[in-house]
């Protein structure tokens, strides 16, 4: 009887600790959209194969795309401080080729802080606005967390030396990468990365997952322009697979279009509320994700995330 009791207790502890671990991961991602509090480790990174020469490494911050070309490896995003070295270790399991290029989708800590862990010879490419923002590592609006200024600590190593304004093509044939800029959304420097031969797109955090995005006005982001920027992304031709900033699986270009509509619903509701004289507080306290998006797998935002996005919308809807 006592043995049974001890066994039962052990099972309970196991179940509890597993669910606590799952719980800790989910809110850490939701709240900070990053690798959060988890200690950096190779085990914290998982590899998903998208194509024979394209992989996603998840964990430790934003989703990292690994594109293997004839001349070397191009990475899209390099995760949070401390995760650069584990990322390098995981890469060795995929390919012996060296990393030659890093593309950062935007300036946030959980997408760029791994950069200085790579050799200084690696070419770092970003949108021109992101190149201006990265040396500053400003707070993310609504989170007030800039991470640390890894670039200052590394005497500028890992900062972009090549930038683009609207479009940039790198490489050719099967190695080709197209970079696009469509305007303000998550920040004022969101790059969209297309691998044309593979029909794959990486959106960064302009499409993080099926939830309310960060609208980081500290880094030039916008609520009002978010839907139109995403609509242009959704109109990109010949895309079968979409790697998002933080989702645990790949999505589709139809999901990008739906995400544009999701953000448009929020902005339209905010505009109507403000013009009818509703207060910021009242709108932030009452807005809910419309049912059709809940049916499509969308999550309700936290009160903090919603409040900060309503603040951004209210500033812009003057």
Nearer to Zn ion, 69 or 203 (CB): 203
Nearer to Zn ion, 103 or 273 (CB): 103
Nearer to Zn ion, 108 or 180 (CB): 108
**205 contacts Zn ion (rule: CB under 5 A):** yes
Nearer to Zn ion, 180 or 186 (CB): 186
Nearer to Zn ion, 116 or 208 (CB): 208
| Residue 302 to residue 288: CA distance in whole angstroms | 11
Shortest Cβ distance from residue 202 to Zn ion (Å)? 13
Hey, what are 48's tokens? Answer: 């998903």
Q: Which of 29, 58, 79, 108 lies at the binding interface for Zn ion (CB under 5 A)?
A: 108
Contact call for residues 83 and 67 (beta carbons, < 8 A): no
Q: Which residues pair with 15 in a beta bridge?
A: none
Within the chain, strands assigned E span 46-51, 54-58, 64-68, 73-76, 99-103, 123-127, 162-164, 167-170, 177-180, 192-195, 200-202, 241-243
**77 contacts Zn ion (rule: CB under 5 A):** no
**Residues with Cβ within 8 Å of residue 7, at least 6 apart in sequence:** none
Contact window for Zn ion (CB under 5 A) among 1-9, 63-71, 202-210, 276-284: 202-210
Shortest Cβ distance from residue 109 to Zn ion (Å)? 8
Shortest Cβ distance from residue 146 to Zn ion (Å)? 12
Contact window for Zn ion (CB under 5 A) among 11-19, 172-180, 205-213, 224-232: 205-213
Number of residues in contact with Zn ion under rule CB under 5 A: 2
Shortest Cβ distance from residue 205 to Zn ion (Å)? 3
The 3-state DSSP class for residue 123 equals strand
Residue keyed to tokens 């191009």:
74
| Residue 187 to residue 112: CA distance in whole angstroms | 14
- Report which of 194, 246, 214 is spatially closest to residue 36, judged by C-alpha positions: 246
Contact window for Zn ion (CB under 5 A) among 44-52, 93-101, 173-181, 200-208: 200-208
**Residues with Cβ within 8 Å of residue 66, at least 6 apart in sequence:** 54, 55, 56, 57, 73, 74, 75, 91, 94, 95
Shortest Cβ distance from residue 291 to Zn ion (Å)? 28
Shortest Cβ distance from residue 92 to Zn ion (Å)? 27
**58 contacts Zn ion (rule: CB under 5 A):** no
Which residue ranges make up the site for Zn ion (CB under 5 A)? 108, 205
């Amino acid at each position: 009887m006592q043995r049974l009791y001890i066994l039962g207790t052990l099972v309970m502890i196991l179940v509890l600790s597993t669910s606590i671990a799952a719980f800790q991961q989910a809110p850490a991602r939701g709240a900070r959209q990053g690798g959060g509090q988890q200690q950096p480790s190779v085990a914290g990174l998982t590899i998903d194969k998208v194509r024979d020469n394209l992989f996603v490494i998840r964990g430790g911050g934003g989703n990292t795309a690994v594109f293997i070309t004839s001349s070397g490896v191009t990475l899209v995003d390099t995760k949070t401080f401390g995760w650069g070295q584990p990322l390098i270790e995981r890469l060795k399991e995929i390919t012996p080729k060296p990393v030659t290029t890093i593309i950062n989708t935007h300036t946030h800590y959980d997408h760029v802080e791994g950069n200085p862990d790579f050799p200084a010879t690696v070419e770092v490419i970003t949108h021109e606005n992101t190149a201006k923002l990265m040396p500053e590592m400003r707070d993310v609006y609504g989170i007030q967390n800039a991470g640390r200024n890894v670039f200052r600590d590394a005497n500028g190593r890992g900062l972009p030396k090549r930038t683009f304004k609207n479009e940039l093509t790198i490489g050719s044939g099967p190695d080709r990468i197209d970079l696009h800029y469509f305007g303000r959304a998550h920040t004022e420097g969101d790059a969209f990365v297309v691998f044309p031969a593979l029909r794959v797109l990486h959106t960064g955090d302009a499409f993080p997952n099926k939830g309310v995005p960060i609208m980081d006005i500290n880094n030039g982001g916008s609520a009002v322009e978010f839907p139109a920027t995403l609509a242009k992304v959704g109109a990109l031709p010949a895309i079968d697979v979409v790697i998002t900033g933080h989702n645990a699986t790949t999505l589709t270009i139809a999901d990008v279009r739906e995400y544009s509509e999701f953000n448009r619903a929020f902005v339209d509701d905010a505009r109507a509320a403000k013009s009818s004289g509703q207060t910021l507080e009242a709108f932030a306290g009452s807005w809910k994700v419309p049912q059709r998006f809940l049916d499509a797998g969308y999550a309700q935002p936290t009160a903090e995330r919603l409040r900060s996005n309503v603040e951004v919308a209210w500033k812009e809807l003057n």
